[in-house]
Amino acid sequence: MHRCDESTVFQVGRKPLQPKVQLRRYYMQQYVRLVTQIQSVIDEGPAALARHLSAPEWERLNVDSDELGLEPEGVKMMIVLEAIFEQVRLKSAPSLPSRINCVFTWPSLEVARRFCIQYVPGGTIHRCRVIEGSAVELDGGLLPPGINLVDLSPSALSDEVRATRARAEKYWNAQASPDFPELLIVGSVEVVDPVNDQ
């Protein structure tokens, strides 16, 4: 973590934001209870995870996906993915902040454009200012492809969890030259203006 007060960073959103608006924490914050629940289930093993993800309660889970542009199944996948990343953080990098409690930004306009093109086509890039806070730069390229939850057999889930844990370990080890650098900021970040030259 390093102090980044007064730094210029970039944010990508589905909708334009007004200058002086403070960025909110990661949208997964609203699902922190479910992320924590999945962490406990993962600890019980692949059979327990398979049962949990096949249960009627999980199937009926009401997740708000309008703001995110994700289908409900995509939000559920992100809940499982973030549970695994958080488990790994707690074991291998507990001094780093939880992704769920951070504001996500990009360190350069070039990286923000790349993210916008790949993940939020038609979105808006905002130039932002860190009012106060600390940041860590990690490799956002290790989150995709997510975790495949199509086959809920214990053996398939075991393989998926293992592969996702391996990516999470690389992520939290903070490589010197990340492929897709993202900034996790603990602090206050406000919009300066939209970037219109996309």
DSSP 47-78: HHHHHHHHSHHHHT-----TTTT--HHHHHHH
Enumerate the β-bridge partners of residue 185. 103, 135
Residue-level pLDDT at 67: 59
Higher pLDDT, 68 or 39: 39
Contact between residue 139 and residue 170 where contact means Cβ atoms under 8 Å apart: yes
Our count of domains for the chain comes to: 1
pLDDT digits (tens, 9 = 90+) for 1-56: 888 878 999 999 989 999 999 999 998 999 999 999 999 999 999 999 999 999 99
- Residue ranges making up the domain that contains 85: 2-194
Contact between residue 194 and residue 13 where contact means Cβ atoms under 8 Å apart: no
Residue 165 confidence (pLDDT) above 60 = yes
Residue-level pLDDT at 6: 81
Query: pTM score > 0.85 for this model?
Result: yes
Higher pLDDT, 183 or 69: 183
